[in-house]
């Protein structure tokens, strides 16, 4: 082998060996290092009979190649490997895109939060206000009733550490807190899988991340019901403290409106055959639904009769919100749920499609409002209820109908 070939092999193989050793882990790195030393030693031994000064030339050439090519390559490979390491990608590792859980194992994060609650405040695990798990952090907040303060601490996944707790004054009291034992049956990992499946059933677009995405466990402000709320693409789905979903996924489409509205009335002691509703609103769960009706996938009824007054509201993927109080008064314009029929809604919808040449994509993006026809009201008689129906974005295609679906007017 010529002297120049030996020098070239020495410099190239030594550089390659250095890069391999730096870019590898464990036994592979050791094997690269030993192999490089052996090869370099054999080639250096061959230079013993080379002309004087060739050893220095070999060392110089090898050094230049390592500095100019070997070290940059080693740095690039090391950073690339580091960016995919468990420590730096802990938040996203093993998480399916658009999943209801922002982390691979939310049950572990829940246990982490409960353990920390006991550290930041004596008895903290029995006075939990909120546990919040998102892609970057796990946060736990407890209630200190002796000072009237919220005590919060959060774990940073990028920093792999808990930060010092902070305290802030609060008007929350004991009815806003919950115990770790209240969620002892909550398997967040299994629940997240169920919520992800439910999101697909409802039609949530899980491809658009939102700042509010994550898991939050707390009592609702209105009725103090303890729920785990899963945020996906800005849409929330609730489960109870045992991980059970509300039985109302059918409410996403108009076919689920009347059965779920009837159940909501009966559950709260109201007869769907009696005139107890002052107003009913509903919108299907769809991105192109318009402004007629309540929130997306929501039925809302204003009650005035049956000895009650107030509101009943239920949204797909969430538990009902009930705000009723005893009342002796009954609205003269109240109507029974039974007078609103699926056939009447469908007749009105079909008329709108034809009347406004609604595109097929918007033909079922329906919203309705049922209440007294204010234009037909007179001082000596009560006007019958009328149904406003809208289709598509902006509800430019909207009109008023009798409850049997017969056209009345447009605005």
DSSP letter at 131 equals E
Mean pLDDT of 97-113: 92
pLDDT in tens, 16-73: 666 566 555 545 555 556 666 555 665 565 656 666 666 665 566 556 656 566 555 5
Section 244-250 average pLDDT: 98
Which of 148, 145, 184, 185 is closest to 169 using CA atoms? 148
Say whether pLDDT at 83 is over 90.
Answer: no
Q: Which of 32-41, 42-51, 87-96, 208-217 has the lowest mean pLDDT?
A: 87-96
Residue 196 has pLDDT above 80, yes or no: yes
Question: Is the confidence at residue 5, as pLDDT, over 80?
Answer: no
pLDDT at 98: 72
Across 20-29, 149-158, 334-343, least confident range: 20-29
CA dist 232 and 239 (Å) reads 14
Residue 225: the pLDDT is 98
How far is residue 269's CA from residue 271's CA, in Å, rounded to a whole number? 7
Q: Average pLDDT, stretch 102-112?
A: 96
The answer to whether residue 87 scores a pLDDT higher than 60 is no
pLDDT digits (tens, 9 = 90+) for 287-321: 999 999 999 999 999 999 999 999 999 999 999 99
- Most confidently predicted of 61-75, 328-342, 346-360, 386-400: 346-360
- Residue that wins the pLDDT comparison between 210 and 9: 210
Question: How many CB atoms are located within 10 Å of the residue 216 CB?
Answer: 18
Say how far apart CA 71 and CA 205 lie, in whole Å: 46
- CB atoms near residue 304 (< 10 Å): 20
Query: Cβ(165)–Cβ(120) under 8 Å?
Result: yes
pLDDT at 222: 92
Average pLDDT, the chain: 86
CA 197 – CA 208 distance, rounded (Å): 17
pLDDT at 94: 57
Q: For helices 188-202 and 106-120, what crossing angle results, to 10°? A: 130
- Average pLDDT, integer, range 131-159: 97
């Amino acid at each position: 082998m010529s002297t120049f070939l030996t020098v070239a092999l020495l410099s190239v193989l030594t550089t390659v060996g250095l890069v391999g050793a730096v870019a590898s882990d464990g036994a592979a790195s050791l094997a690269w290092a030993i192999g490089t030393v052996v090869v370099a030693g054999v080639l250096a031994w061959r230079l013993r009979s080379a002309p004087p000064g060739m050893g220095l030339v070999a060392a110089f050439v090898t050094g230049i190649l390592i500095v100019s090519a070997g070290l940059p390559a080693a740095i690039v490979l090391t950073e690339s490997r580091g960016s995919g390491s468990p420590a730096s990608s802990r938040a996203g590792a093993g998480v399916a895109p658009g999943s209801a859980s922002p982390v691979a194992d939310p049950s572990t994060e829940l246990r982490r939060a409960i353990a920390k609650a006991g550290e930041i405040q004596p008895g903290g695990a029995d006075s939990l206000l909120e546990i919040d798990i998102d892609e970057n952090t796990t946060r736990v907040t407890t209630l200190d009733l002796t000072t009237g303060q919220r005590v919060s601490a959060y774990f940073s996944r990028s920093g792999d550490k808990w930060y010092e707790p902070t305290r802030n004054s609060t008007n929350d009291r004991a009815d806003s807190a919950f115990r770790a034992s209240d969620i002892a049956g909550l398997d967040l990992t299994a629940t997240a899988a169920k919520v992800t499946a439910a999101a697909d059933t409802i039609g949530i677009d899980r491809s658009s991340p939102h700042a509010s995405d994550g898991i939050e466990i707390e009592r609702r402000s209105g009725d103090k019901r303890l729920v785990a709320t899963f945020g996906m693409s800005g849409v929330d789905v609730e489960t109870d403290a045992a991980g059970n979903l509300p039985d109302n996924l059918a409410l996403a489409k108009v076919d689920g409106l009347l059965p779920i509205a009837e159940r909501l009335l009966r559950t709260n002691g109201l007869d769907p055959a009696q005139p107890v509703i002052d107003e009913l609103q509903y919108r299907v769960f769809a991105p192109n639904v318009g402004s007629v009706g309540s929130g997306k996938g929501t039925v809302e009824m204003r009650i005035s009769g049956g000895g009650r007054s107030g509101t009943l509201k239920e949204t797909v993927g969430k538990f009902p919100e009930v705000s009723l109080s005893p009342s002796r008064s009954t609205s003269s314009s109240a109507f029974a749920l039974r007078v609103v029929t699926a056939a009447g809604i469908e007749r009105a919808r079909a008329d709108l499609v034809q009347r406004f040449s609604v595109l097929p994509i918007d033909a079922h993006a329906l919203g309705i409002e049922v209440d007294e026809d204010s234009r037909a009201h007179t001082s000596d008689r009560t006007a019958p209820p009328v149904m406003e129906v809208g289709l598509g974005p902006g509800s430019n295609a909207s009109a008023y109908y009798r409850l049997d679906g017969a056209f009345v007017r447009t605005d």
